[in-house]
């Protein structure tokens, strides 16, 4: 059974790092975080139509003096590649990305799998550090460390929220 | 028909310390020529991202107007950003779209606005209420001044000629970023 505790850890770490702005395209994993964030007046939540927008939005928030994070599904990384490569990376923008994993353990939909398989090679090709959450007891330290790195390196850093941690869709 | 450089010169004469996000290509070239202010953010690639970056900046600085200088081709590449910005509707946002109905830098290939696409109608359909299409310098000046004074968000579609921009701003992304942030009183991490 997926634990609900991991979502609380992420919320608390976002607050520790003063990350007030959350921009998102939803999936079922991200919704577990949003459910908590909506109940907390600390957060200002922006729904996007496409993930690429979020790269621009978080960049604008950062140069304006505020910190934002991007919550997106695996498929959305594909939609955001050029904005990451030509804006967030060369302009050195700290950009925490929380990615809901699809196309991996427990996937029912074959059309999700190719992007799931390409996710890590794409992040590696862009030299975006990425860390996977699989065990609830590791979430706190990994998210803490990933956020610290994003602001130290001034770069996008990805936290991959696995189905092992967050559960998968029960469709056959 | 407007001239982009002449209209950009009017913008920089009207603003004081308001930040301006300039899309890749001609919008940022002419902004540099009009006046190289530290409050100018020059995009060197990331086509389409000016509208999204301007939205993010406007969300963090409600006390001042935030101006986006966009192009028709760039906005067409990120049209969905109109729906996101309209839903959020920051009152301090002024989104100017220079529409020359072509990809001027790559050889003048027509954009969809050369045929039947109307960016102002798309903005209205996205949910923007203050949307103006302007075709002369005089009307542009009146409209932009109003947008600076009155709450928005504003969309100004400016129909311009096809003159190529000569200016070339600095290319270093980190120089552009740090200078911009410093001008807004924002310290880097």
CATH number for A109: 3.40.50.970
* Residue A36 DSSP label: H
Using an 8 Å CB-CB cutoff, list chain A residues near B188: 154
Number of folded domains that form chain B:
1
Q: State how beta strands B109-110 and B102-103 pair.
A: antiparallel
Residue B186 DSSP label: P
Tell me, what's the pLDDT at A148? 98
State which residues of chain B have pLDDT below 70: 189
Which structural domain, as residue segments, surrounds residue A43?
Answer: 5-166
CB contact under 8 A, A56 and B88: no
- Contact of B53 with chain A, judged by CB distance below 8 Å, is answered with yes
Contact A64 B184 (CB under 8 A): yes
pLDDT of A1 strictly over 60: no
Q: Which residue has the tokens 């996710």?
A: A119
Whether residue A141 is contained in a domain is answered as yes
Average pLDDT over residues A16-43: 97
Nearest of B95, B86, B88, B67 to residue B154 by alpha carbon: B95
Q: Is residue B188 part of a domain?
A: no
Residue A34: inside a domain, yes or no?
yes
Assess if residue B58 is contained within a domain. yes
From chain A, the residues in CB contact with B21 under 8 A are: 60
- Interface check for B21 against chain A (CB to CB < 8 A): the answer is yes
Q: Which two tokens stand for residue A49?
A: 């139509």
CATH number at residue B10: 3.40.50.970
Answer yes or no: is A102 within a domain: yes
Q: Residue B189: what pLDDT?
A: 63
Average model confidence (pLDDT) across chain A: 96
For residue B90, being part of any structural domain is answered with: yes
Q: Is B1 exposed, middle or buried (0-12, 13-18, 19+ CB in 10 A)?
A: exposed
Q: Best of A53, A72, A84 to disrupt the B interface by mutation (most B CBs within 10 Å)?
A: A53
Q: For residue B49, what are the domain limits?
A: 4-128+137-183
| C-beta separation of B180 from B38 below 8 A | yes
User: Any CB–CB contact under 8 A between B175 and chain A?
Assistant: no
* Percent of chain A's residues with pLDDT above 90: 95
Q: Are the Cβ atoms of A64 and B60 closer than 8 angstroms?
A: yes
Q: For residue B68, is it within any domain? A: yes
CA atoms within 13 A on the CB side of B10: 17
**ipTM for the complex?**
0.98
pLDDT at A3 over 70: no
Does A121 reside within a domain? Answer: yes
Q: Classify residue B189: in a domain, yes or no.
A: no
Question: What's the rounded Cα separation, in Å, for the pair A98 and A161?
Answer: 7
For B38, the token pair is 């530290």
What's the angle, vertex CA B28, arms to CA B146 and CA B18, rounded to 5? Answer: 40
Distance from A94 to chain B by nearest Cα, in Å? 9
Q: What pLDDT was estimated at residue A118? A: 98
Largest CA distance in chain A: 46
**Confidence at residue A170, expressed as pLDDT on a 0 to 100 scale:** 87
The whole-angstrom distance between A87's CA and the closest CA on chain B is 6
Over range A128-150, report the average pLDDT.
97
Query: Which pLDDT score, from 0 to 100, does residue A4 have?
Result: 57
Rounded to whole angstroms, the Cα distance separating A13 from B104 reads 46
Cα-only R_g, chain B: 15
Shortest CA gap A96–chain B (Å):
14
In this prediction, residue A172 carries a pLDDT of 84
Task: Output the DSSP codes for A51-119.
Answer: HHHHHHHHHHHHHTT-EEEEEEEHHHHHHHHHHIIIIITTTT--EEEEEE--SSTT---GGGHHHHHHH
Interface of A with B (CB under 8 A): 21, 23, 44, 46-50, 52-66, 68, 82-83, 86-87, 90-94, 151-152, 154
In this complex, do B56 and A68 lie within 8 Å of one another by their Cβ atoms?
yes
Q: Which residue out of B41, B50, B53 would a mutagenesis test of the A interface target, given it has the greatest number of A Cβ atoms within 10 Å?
A: B53
pLDDT one-digit tens code per residue, B111-154: 999 999 999 999 999 999 999 999 999 999 999 999 999 999 99
Task: Report B:76-105 residues touching A (Cβ under 8 A).
Answer: 78, 80-81, 83-84, 87-88
pLDDT at residue A2 in the model: 46
Residue in A closest to B54 by C-alpha: A60
Q: What is the pLDDT of residues A44-62, one digit of tens each?
A: 999 999 999 999 999 999 9
Å from B80 to nearest chain A CA?
Answer: 6
Domain count, chain A: 1
pLDDT score recorded for residue B52: 98
CB atoms B78 and A53 under 8 Å: yes
Tokens of A54: 């979020």
């Amino acid at each position: 059974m997926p634990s609900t505790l991991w979502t609380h850890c992420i919320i608390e770490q976002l607050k520790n790092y003063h990350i007030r702005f959350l921009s998102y395209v939803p999936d079922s994993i991200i919704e577990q975080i949003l459910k908590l964030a909506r109940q907390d007046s600390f957060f200002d939540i922006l729904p996007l139509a496409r993930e690429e927008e979020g790269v621009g939005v978080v960049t604008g928030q950062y140069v304006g003096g505020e910190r934002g994070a991007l919550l997106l599904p695996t498929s959305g990384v594909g939609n955001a590649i050029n904005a990451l490569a030509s804006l967030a990376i060369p302009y050195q923008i700290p950009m925490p990305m929380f990615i809901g994993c699809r196309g991996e353990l427990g996937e029912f939909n074959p059309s999700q799998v190719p992007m799931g398989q390409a996710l890590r090679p794409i992040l590696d090709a862009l030299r975006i550090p990425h860390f996977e959450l699989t065990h609830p007891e590791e979430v706190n330290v990994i998210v803490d460390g990933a956020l610290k790195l994003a602001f130290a390196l001034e770069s996008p850093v990805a936290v991959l929220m696995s189905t092992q941690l967050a559960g998968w869709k029960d469709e056959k | 028909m407007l001239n982009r450089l002449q209209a950009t010169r009017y913008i920089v004469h009207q603003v004081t310390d308001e930040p301006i996000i300039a899309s890749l290509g001609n919008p940022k070239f002419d902004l540099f020529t009009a006046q190289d202010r530290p409050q100018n953010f020059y995009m060197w690639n990331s086509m389409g991202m000016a509208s999204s970056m301007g939205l993010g900046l406007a969300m963090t600085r409600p006390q001042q107007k935030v101006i986006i200088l966009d192009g028709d081709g760039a906005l067409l590449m990120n049209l969905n950003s109109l729906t996101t910005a309209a839903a959020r509707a920051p009152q301090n946002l002024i989104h100017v779209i220079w529409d020359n109905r072509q990809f001027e830098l790559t050889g003048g290939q027509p954009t969809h606005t050369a045929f039947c696409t109307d960016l102002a109608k798309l903005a209205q359909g996205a949910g923007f209420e203050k949307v103006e299409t302007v075709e002369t310098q005089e009307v542009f000046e009146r409209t932009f001044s109003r947008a600076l004074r009155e709450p928005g968000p504003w969309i100004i579609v400016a129909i311009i000629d096809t003159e190529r921009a000569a200016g070339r701003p600095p290319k270093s992304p980190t120089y552009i970023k740090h200078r911009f942030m410093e001008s807004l009183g924002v310290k880097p991490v």
